[in-house]
A and B are shown apart, each in its own frame.
Chain A
Amino acid sequence: MLPWPAFSSVDGKRLALRMGCGGDAAGTGMLSSEESKEGALHFEEVWHQSSSDRGTWCWHPASNSLDVGYLTMEGIPKQAARVQVDTCLAVPDLDGAAVTAEEEEDDGAALGNGAADVHLYDYHIAYHPSYSVPILLFRGRSRTDGTLLMWEEIMEDLPEASRELAGADDGRWTFITQQEHPVLRTPWFSLHPCETAALEGLMRGEERNTGAQLCYSDNSLLQLARCIPGPDSASQLKPVVLTGFEQLVIQL
């Protein structure tokens, strides 16, 4: 079995995109950085062959030999949930709504004042040496001014189930955390590896499992990707990340 993101072939057609599973004989779910690089390059290739119309993952080698590198898919648009009204111009709400509706038709028309902003999400997959697994990192930017999105804005873009979990008492610190990018050392959001079991439960529609065990094994990027801000519905916006992963599993 190929290491991360490992693909297991099911009846010759389906590929399960797995994260940190089966990488070592002992079944600890851990991978070496070299294994993760091998897996990442393979993933990039398979992705390119199967879903080149849905955005591209690019491999960026690291500048030193301690870190192997990371995969990126950047600038994936998502219509912001909230209508942003330019306070200086004080555009009435009605106008804002009108522009929004117009833009939906136009799918990505130039933004006017008071229109809902489009958020651009960057996704990186980088190797986390301490946990010996690849982690999925993301950050959002505003298309209008390029500023990084704050936690509250990202919250609005989360799928509903994730929003509930993230909005729980300490949710923001245990579920989705802001941490340094393992290679770039800049602030990124990620799903904290500690809560993986809780995430799995969430994705199966179970109650939150508070006794989450730290284990990345048998987890998939597909599952993780469902918990973070994704693009709008697949029919509207391609390339997509969330449905992209899903389709990779379903269609191949």
Chain B
Amino acid sequence: MVASEKAIKEANWAGQIPLKLVLASNEITSLDTPSPLYALAFRLGYLPTVAAQALEFFQEVLPPGSNTPWFEYKRIPLPWQIPVGVLYDLLASENEQPWHLTVHFRSFPSDTLLRWDGDITLRAAFFNSLKEAAYICQGSARSVMDMALQAQNDLWSAVTAGDAEQYASISSSLNMSPKARGERRPSVPLRLYVRHTHGGYMASLNSATQYTSRPVETVTESGRSRTLQEVLLALLSDLGGGAASAEPESSNTSTSQPISTLEKDADAEGEATGDVHRAASSAIDETWQSLSSVHS
């Protein structure tokens, strides 16, 4: 069991998504359409990490001016703060490989995407997310805020390089184990992404998907451990929109296992492939990112 969990963790960290990047047609200044760029992105990584590569590749055909990268899939601007693997599982057509994305360097859609101001933006978003997770687990974000600059740098480089071992050794020092506070039972951070329809036209990310990020208590009022299935069913029912009728399925995580024990191993949980994905980039921001596609 332990060995297989370790294997899942390692496979998840090593997992990559093949991308086929095409430059937005209105940003091409050359007569010939530039050839697409093929790149690999870590499932637990973020899209902007391939932006530098894309800029180098497409630079010559871009119009003069400053470059702010953003990515689009089927006309939907992709939030840069969501891990690539989660975006892929949430939005990509079934088994679409490589994943066809359009890259832009102009006309950043600042009404739908959080502002991108260089790599510092991503790093700041990651640490804000980590603080949020620490707050949920420990009732305080002190452990993250008190991290020495060097430790922060090491943690961040582990994330960007996909170094599971380094990440685990630093994050374990943060002591993220959930504890009770006042009347609040011990909680773990959970992010759930729900896709309503599969395939078909997506008018916007918000209309095609639902998302929630919240603390989830690990035990019931009577002290019994809650299972991932219980938690997901309750969340799906509260989200409404047809999600309630769906039975969550998960291929690599037992949904009947107590959520607290899952949490302990949630360091680098795999993103499950199945109707309900538990795309646990809990790894990455210590938050469970769950992903569920619901056929309605």
- Partner-B contacts on A (CB < 8 A): 24-28, 30, 63-67, 129-132, 148, 150-151, 170, 173-174, 177-180, 185-187, 192, 194, 212-215
B3 at interface by CB-CB < 8 Å: no
Q: How far is the CA of A202 from the CA of B133 in the complex (A)?
A: 26
B212 at interface by CB-CB < 8 Å: yes
Flag B112-156 by CB within 8 Å of A: 1 or 0 each: 111101001100100010011101100111100100000000000
Instruction: Tell me whether B124 and A130 are in contact (CB under 8 A).
Output: no
Given A26-B181, A129-B213, A212-B145 in contact, is the A180-B114 Cβ separation under 8 Å? yes
Segment of B41-49, B92-100, B236-244 in the binding face: B236-244
Q: Which residues of B contact A131 (CB under 8 A)?
A: 132, 135
Known: A130-B135, A150-B110, A214-B145. 8 other contacts (CB 8 A): A26-B183, A30-B181, A63-B240, A130-B133, A130-B136, A130-B215, A178-B115, A186-B111
Q: Contact check: which of B111, B117, B140, B189 meets A213 at CB < 8 Å?
A: B140
Instruction: Tell me whether A129 and B214 are in contact (CB under 8 A).
Output: yes
Q: Contact check: which of B111, B113, B120, B183 meets A173 at CB < 8 Å?
A: B120
Instruction: Tell me whether A28 and B139 are in contact (CB under 8 A).
Output: yes
Q: Which residues of A contact B111 (CB under 8 A)?
A: 148, 186-187
Instruction: Tell me whether A28 and B215 are in contact (CB under 8 A).
Output: no
Return B169 CB to nearest CB of chain A, in Å.
24
Q: How far is the CA of A214 from the CA of B135 in the complex (A)?
A: 8
Q: Which residues of A contact B136 (CB under 8 A)?
A: 130
**Residue of A whose beta carbon sits closest to that of B184:** A30
Instruction: Tell me whether A65 and B238 are in contact (CB under 8 A).
Output: yes
Q: How far is the CA of A130 from the CA of B213 in the complex (A)?
A: 7
Q: Which residues of A contact B183 (CB under 8 A)?
A: 24-26
Q: Which residues of B contact A174 (CB under 8 A)?
A: 124
Instruction: Tell me whether A130 and B214 are in contact (CB under 8 A).
Output: yes
Instruction: Tell me whether B211 and A64 are in contact (CB under 8 A).
Output: no
Q: Contact check: which of A30, A130, A194, A212 meets B182 at CB < 8 Å?
A: A30
Q: How far is the CA of A33 from the CA of B117 in the complex (A)?
A: 33
B210 at interface by CB-CB < 8 Å: yes
